[in-house]
Structure 1
Amino acid sequence: MANWRVNLFVLWFGQFLVMAGMTMITPFLPLYLQQLGLHDPHQVATWAGFIFAGNFVTSFIFQPIWGGLADRYGRKMMLLRSGFGMAVVMTLMGFATGPWHLFILRMLNGTISGFLPAAVALISTNTPKDRIGFAMGTLQSGSMAGAILGPFLGGLMAEWIGYQYIFYITGVLLFAASLLVLFLVKETFDTAAAAKKPKQSLAEAFLALKHIPQLPSLYTVTFLIQFSLMSTMPLIPLFVQELHGQGEFLAFYAGLVGSVTGFSNMIASPLLGKLSDRIGPEKILGVCLVGAAIATIPQAFVLNVWQLFAARFFLGLFMGGLLPTVNSLIRKYTPNGMESRSYSFNTSFLSLGNMIGPVVGGFISGILTIQQLFLISSVLLFANSYWVYYTLVVKNKSAVAGK
């Protein structure tokens, strides 16, 4: 098997384990906090919010720093640093005796994280150019599979073995994934050539990349994708409750609706990635943004849970072509030797969308209904598609004509 295929298989598995480990605590975190001594519902909700956000805050800050080191010392080294580091931190979460411990460990986890952008950078620089789209789509499917099955497995294990042991199991799995990277992933990286390049500060690197007009445009696209999609995410369970009522299987239906976009995303990502290798990632990104905008509209008019389920499945098909094609385009426009830092800046914008989207959506939900939020999300995705057309198609044609 070609090296790039081995890398893709191992890092697909690694992405799956990392995302599963990161999301496995989602179903039971408030219950775990109660076990740690919190009983007031408001306190539990507040601490749960802080603990979830802590990971994204430090990830937003530190990703570009790790990206710079990856471009100087190699992406495999950053994969190992992040994988083994997160294995230790996850295991330590099982020994937490109070919410402060979990909060600090989640912030530490965000600080040392970086497995996902390092994996993307390694695959993008060690895969034949005519297979980049397929590789990015496949890698995305591993991440989505972990995000889907993580909460499900976490909920099951919480019932079977208790909360603490889940952290230990997750730590062992992350350690195992890191060992696979250590022994099986092969990277083509010229350390001597990278060492000769002048060192750049974070600001200098961002300014260097900023002068390539397509890259800030793509970072903005990533932020808007996450912001528009995540702004409605925390309200989905409440919307399911509104549609279904307080009947049986409410939690099951809420989980089903919440995960169905991930299933369709996982199916569509490799297929759309392969298609982007044929017709170009710009076209796939534009079509998928318009498709996601259109697929968001029916959610505002559904009358029962199954209609919402169908609409969310339809949305996930187009979501499968968003972030993988952005990653393909970032590789296309990033200068050689700066791939990791470029991807890490994109990850920071993604984390920013993950942070701000739910907060703004929750705030606006006190003024507007979730149906109106779906329509606003659709408008943002339409605007994003125009932004892609203008910055990546119209401006490129103007630049070529100017030459």
Structure 2
Amino acid sequence: MQRWKINLFVLMGGNFLVMAGMTMIMPFLSLYLQQDLGLTDRHEIGVWAGFIFAANFITSFIFQPLWGKLSDKYGRKMMLLRSGFGMSLVMVLMGFATAPWHLLALRMLNGVISGYTPAAVSLVSATTPKDRMGFAMGTLQSGGTAGTILGPFIGGLLADNFGFRPIFYITGSLMFLASVISWLLVQENFDRAAAALKKQMSVFKGLRDLMVIRQLPVLLTVTFLIQFAMLSPMPLIPLYVQDLHGTTENLAFYAGFVGSVTGISNMICAPLLGKLSDRIGATRILLVSLAGAAVMLIPQAFVGSVGQLLVFRFLLGCFMGGLIPTVNSLVRRYTPDGMESRAFGFNSSALSLGNMMGPIMGGALSGFIGIEGLFVLSGVLLFMTCIWATRALRSRSASRT
């Protein structure tokens, strides 16, 4: 098997383990605050859940460009191991939290050292032929998505039987395992001596050099808007499921199922849409996926049962499979060789900024418009993003020719 394929499938497996660990507890964060940490007011729970969920991305937004710069200097594999082993320790410590601010501080620390997935994306993009980039990005995404499927399922079963705290210990163990696998099996042809001889530029100089490539500012903005819209209602979905379900019996399982069903369709569709993007163009897939995701978000505000919510969440995942992987493929296409890690670092910062602002704004607005209003707002935002991206990317392509 070609080396780029070996790296791809090993990192797909590592991405699976990392995301399985991450999603075991995150879908139940509001329930954890309610049942284990003593919060009772629903608006207070929404605000805390939004800030805790976003805290990881606040510090990640700041530090990802730095890790991208160091990745170009010391190698992507080193960044994989730094992130994986560090996050495994922090996750275990979260199991000992006794107050909301403990989780907040640890999530911020986790964001400082995070970066397994961006490093994996950067390593795969640097070793994959450009004409197979859509397939590689979709396949890598499917590994993480498969983890998001099993994570909430396993987490829901554990939470119903043993409580939430053991999930953190399992999460840390899975991340440690992913790091060991990457350490043993991933290979990178990285000449550290040659990289050390290259003139090192500052993070801001690297950003300026990349932003003159006219497509990249558009793609970074699209990444931010996608994550902002998708994550705005996320911390409150367990409470929404609680209202629809009408009882606390097996509540964590149903909340996990709602989170997982989007991942199921995402896992199925991401590689298929990646292959299709290699044939008809990544830009077309991105625009269709933006419009389709918008259409599937709005009806979630008007469902009357958990079953109806599951249908629309499944269909939403089909279109989500064509969003971030396609953006990653386009970022690689327009980035000069040797600057891939920096470009993906900045794109990861844009993603983290959306992940940060979405839950914060969603938690703040939930007291006024409810989660139903957040679904509608997110759908409208994705429609507007689709219209703007259509004009921006096409105008830049025309100006390039």
What TM-score, normalized to structure 2?
Answer: 0.89
Contact preservation (8 Å) 2:30, 2:238: no
**1:20 counterpart residue number:** 20
- 2: CA distance, partners of 1:27 / 1:295: 20
Structure 2 Cα separation of the partners of residues 246 and 158 of structure 1: 16
Cα pair 1:209 1:334 within 8 Å, conserved: yes
3-state SS of paired residue (2:352) = helix
Shift of 1:32: 6.4
Task: List per-residue Cα deviations over 1:311-353 (Å, max 9, x = no partner).
Answer: 2211110110000000000001111111111111111111111
What is the correspondence of 1:24-63 to structure 2 with a 5 Å cutoff? 24-26=24-26, 38-41=37-40, 45=45, 49-63=50-64
Could you tell me how far 1:102 is from its partner in structure 2?
A: 4.0
Contact 2:156 2:253 survives alignment (8 Å): no
CA distance in 2, matches of 1:372, 1:104: 30
Q: Which stretch of structure 1 is more off in the superposition, 6-15 or 188-197?
A: 188-197
Partner letter of residue 186 of structure 2? V
Q: Is the 8 A contact 2:153 2:260 kept in 1?
A: no
Q: Which moved more, 1:187-196 or 1:274-283?
A: 187-196
Aligned to 2:110: 109
CA–CA separation in structure 2 for the residues paired with 1:246 and 1:164: 22
SS of the residue 1:261 aligns to = helix
Amino acid at match of 1:71: D
- 1:157 corresponds in structure 2 to 158
Distance in 2, matches of 1:328 and 1:146, equals: 21
- Further displaced range: 354-363 or 177-186: 354-363
CA-CA distance at 1:25 after TM superposition: 2.6
The Cα offsets for residues 94-144 of structure 1, whole Å up to 9 and x where unpaired, read as: 455665554433222211111110000000111122211111111111112
Q: Tell whether the 8 Å contact from 2:51 to 2:359 is kept in structure 1 after alignment.
A: no
Task: Work out whether 1:215 is the aligned partner of 2:202.
Answer: no
Give the residue type in structure 1 aligned to 2:201: Q
- 3-state SS, counterpart of residue 391 of structure 1: helix
Note the alpha carbon deviations across 1:200-239, whole angstroms, 9 max, x for none.
2121111111111111110110111111122232343444
Q: What letter is aligned with 2:86?
A: G
Residue equivalent to 2:262: 261
Q: 1:132 to 1:367 in 2, by over 3 A?
A: same
Whether the 8 Å CA contact 1:26–1:154 is kept in 2: the answer is no
Distance change (3 Å), C-alpha of 1:256 and 1:25 = closer
Equivalence for 1:337: 338
Q: Secondary structure at the match of 2:110?
A: helix
Q: Does the CA-based 8 Å contact 1:27-1:155 persist in structure 2?
A: no
Match status 1:140 vs 2:141:
yes
CA distance in 2, matches of 1:129, 1:202: 26
Q: Is the 8 A contact 2:148 2:263 kept in 1?
A: yes
- Offset of 1:150 from its aligned partner? 2.0
| 1:271 lines up with 2:272 in the alignment | yes
Partner residue, 1:4? 4
Tell me the distance in 2 between the aligned counterparts of 1:27 and 1:297.
20
CA distance in 2, matches of 1:257, 1:96: 26
Q: Is the 8 A contact 2:27 2:238 kept in 1?
A: no
Whole-angstrom CA distance in 2 between matches of 1:157 and 1:263: 20
The C-alpha deviation readout for 1:21-48, integer Å capped at 9, x for no partner, is 2222336656767898x53535993665
Cα deviation code 1:234-285 (max 9, x no counterpart): 3434444454544865554443333321211111101101111111111111
Which stretch shows the higher mean deviation, 342-351 or 381-390?
381-390
Q: Are 2:253 and 1:234 equivalent residues in the alignment?
A: no
Query: Identity over the aligned pairs, expressed in percent?
Result: 64
Q: What's the offset of the Cα at 1:364?
A: 3.0
In 1: Cα distance, 2:156 partner to 2:246 partner: 23
1:346 and 2:365 equivalent? no
CA separation of 1:198 and 1:81: change in aligned 2, threshold 3 A:
same
Q: Distance in 1 between matches of 2:248 and 2:35?
A: 27
3-state DSSP class of the match of 1:367?
helix
In structure 1, C-alpha distance between the alignment counterparts of 2:139 and 2:376, rounded to whole Å:
30
Q: Which amino acid aligns with 1:136?
A: M
Identify unmatched segments of 5+ residues in structure 2.
none
1:194 touches 1:337 (CA, 8 Å); kept in 2? no
- The residue correspondences of 1:166-205 to structure 2 (distance < 5 A) are 166-205=167-206
Structure 1's unaligned 5+ residue stretches are none
Q: How far apart are the structure 2 equivalents of 1:241 and 1:198?
A: 56
Return the alpha-carbon distance in structure 2 between the equivalents of residues 311 and 95 of structure 1: 36
d(CA) in 1 for partners of 2:374, 2:53: 23
1:279–1:74: structure 2 CA closer, same or farther, 3 Å change rule?
same
Letter in 1 for 2:2: A
Could you tell me how far 1:196 is from its partner in structure 2? 2.7
Go from structure 1 to structure 2 and tell me whether the alpha carbon gap of 1:175 and 1:40 turns closer, same or farther (over 3 Å shift): closer
CA separation of 1:13/1:42 partners in 2, compared to 1, >3 Å: closer, same or farther?
A: same
More displaced stretch, 26-35 vs 233-242: 26-35
Greater CA drift, 201-210 or 292-301: 292-301
Contact 2:224–2:353 (CA under 8 A) maintained in structure 1: yes
Deviation string, structure 1 residues 60-119 (Cα, Å, up to 9, x no partner): 111111011001111111111111222232334445566555443322221111111000
> For 1:344 and 1:7, how far apart are their aligned partners in 2?
20
